[in-house]
Amino acid sequence: MGTFVVTGSASGMGAATAGRLQDEGHTVIDVDLHEAGIQADLSTPQGRADALTGIKAATGGRLDGVAAVAGLGAHLDDPARVLAVNYFAPVALLEGLRRELAVSGAGRVVVISSNSASTVPLIDEELVRIVLSGDEKAALERAGGRHIQLPDEITESAPSITAYASSKLALSLWVRRTTVTEDWARAGILLNAVAPGAVLTPLMRASTGRDAEPDPDNFPTPMPLGHFGDPEDIAFWAHQFLRPEARFTTGSVLYVDGGTDAAMRPEGY
Ligand code: NAD
């Protein structure tokens, strides 16, 4: 049986992913703000460093996989924090755990991106460039500066949409750029991303408003299947990417979104 790290394990997709691994008999090192073996605020460098210290102590120097699931939604009115948790946290943890993943000889990583990276037209390309350069201070300043003008109806419901979609695009690009480098590829560590669409979790319910049950046929993005996702729909694929048998897939970004991206970008993939 293996040892896996799951961030965002206290809720939604992270809890579902941790549950699948535990059901198979694996050891799960769970990381979250609360209700987790390792409690840390991944929005800050200090919180990430504390999390890494705790994880390394628990692994014994060898790690089979990481599911970096923790994230924040666009509904929060704090774009810098959204960017920090959605991009800088998973990248710092994964870079910090590369050595432990290499020791296993078949390390597996899955991150949770979003179909927002391809379906939201409010991406700040300059922000993505700065994020990928690794300059967190400059990136958080840029995100807080809100350089993309949002339509009024979006400012209210999704004030951090630019930081959110830009963070998820940058995370998918980081996966694709990193996975081909020698340090990762030749160490047998495979990195993939799942890009969910609308999935019924506390994050999505907070984004759509708590008062009414969201309606898939009257939703801002098309839902061709006529229903939203469940955390288990994402955990299923996250789990597949973490299996040792998934040995020839790396750098992929898998849409698990009920067909939203296909409906919005029929000419792209
Ligand atoms: P969720 O709110 O149910 O779970 C997110 C978890 O992340 C929570 O347990 C939370 O405590 C943790 N977290 C947040 N900030 C943290 C911090 N600073 N430090 C440590 N932990 C922190 O949400 P979810 O919908 O399961 O989200 C999982 C991932 O999926 C996120 O990355 C989110 O951006 C992404 N996503 C969600 C949807 C959706 O529709 N729900 C769609 C696309 C992408």
**pLDDT at res. 245:** 96
- Tokens 């201070």 locate to 137
In ligand 1, which atom is closest to the CA atom of 203? Answer: 2
Q: What whole-number distance in Å separates Cα of residue 37 and Cα of residue 41?
A: 13
Q: Give distance in angstroms: CA of 201 to centre of ligand 1.
A: 8
pLDDT digits (tens, 9 = 90+) for 240-257: 999 999 999 999 999 999
Specify if 50 maps to a domain.
yes
58-68: average pLDDT? 97
Q: Please report, for residues 21, 41, 64, 135, 249, the alpha-carbon distance to residue 4 in angstroms, rounded to integers and kept in the order given.
A: 8, 19, 6, 29, 19
Q: Which amino acid appears at position 89 of this protein?
A: A
Q: What whole-number distance in Å separates Cα of residue 151 and Cα of residue 50?
A: 39
Count the domains in the chain: 1
42-51: average pLDDT? 98
Q: Give distance in angstroms: CA of 164 to centre of ligand 1.
A: 12
Specify if 152 maps to a domain.
yes
**For 10-24, 53-67, 120-134, 212-226, which range has the lowest pLDDT when averaged over its residues?**
212-226
73-91: average pLDDT? 97
Specify if 80 maps to a domain.
yes
In ligand 1, which atom is closest to the CA atom of 164? Answer: 34
- Nearest by Cα to 253 from 161, 128, 169, 132: 169
Residue 197, domain CATH: 3.40.50.720
In ligand 1, which atom is closest to the CA atom of 13? Answer: 26
Specify if 269 maps to a domain.
no
- Spell out the residues 6+ positions from residue 50 whose beta carbon is closer than 8 angstroms to its own: 40
**pLDDT at res. 210:** 58
The enclosing H or E element of 56 equals: helix 45-59
Q: What whole-number distance in Å separates Cα of residue 260 and Cα of residue 253?
A: 15
Helices 161-179 & 89-104, crossing angle to 10 degrees?
20
Q: Give distance in angstroms: CA of 229 to centre of ligand 1.
A: 14
What is the chain's mean pLDDT, rounded?
96
Q: Tell me if residue 28 falls in helix, strand or coil.
A: strand
Specify if 268 maps to a domain.
no
Identify which has the larger pLDDT, 268 or 11: 11
Q: Is the pLDDT of residue 212 over 80?
A: no
Task: Using most ligand atoms within 8 A of CB, pick from 9, 13, 236, 256 the residue to mutate for ligand 1.
Answer: 13
Specify if 267 maps to a domain.
no
Q: Give distance in angstroms: CA of 182 to centre of ligand 1.
A: 30
Domain that includes residue 8, residue range = 3-260
In ligand 1, which atom is closest to the CA atom of 234? Answer: 30
In ligand 1, which atom is closest to the CA atom of 228? Answer: 40
50-56: average pLDDT? 98
* DSSP assignment of 88-111: IHHHHHHHHHHHHHHHHSS-EEEE
Task: Using most ligand atoms within 8 A of CB, pick from 78, 203, 257 the residue to mutate for ligand 1.
Answer: 203
Specify if 235 maps to a domain.
yes
**Paired strand residues for 65:** 4, 108
> Tokens in use for 244?
């040792």
Specify if 27 maps to a domain.
yes
**pLDDT at res. 211:** 57
**Paired strand residues for 128:** none
Q: What whole-number distance in Å separates Cα of residue 96 and Cα of residue 116?
A: 27
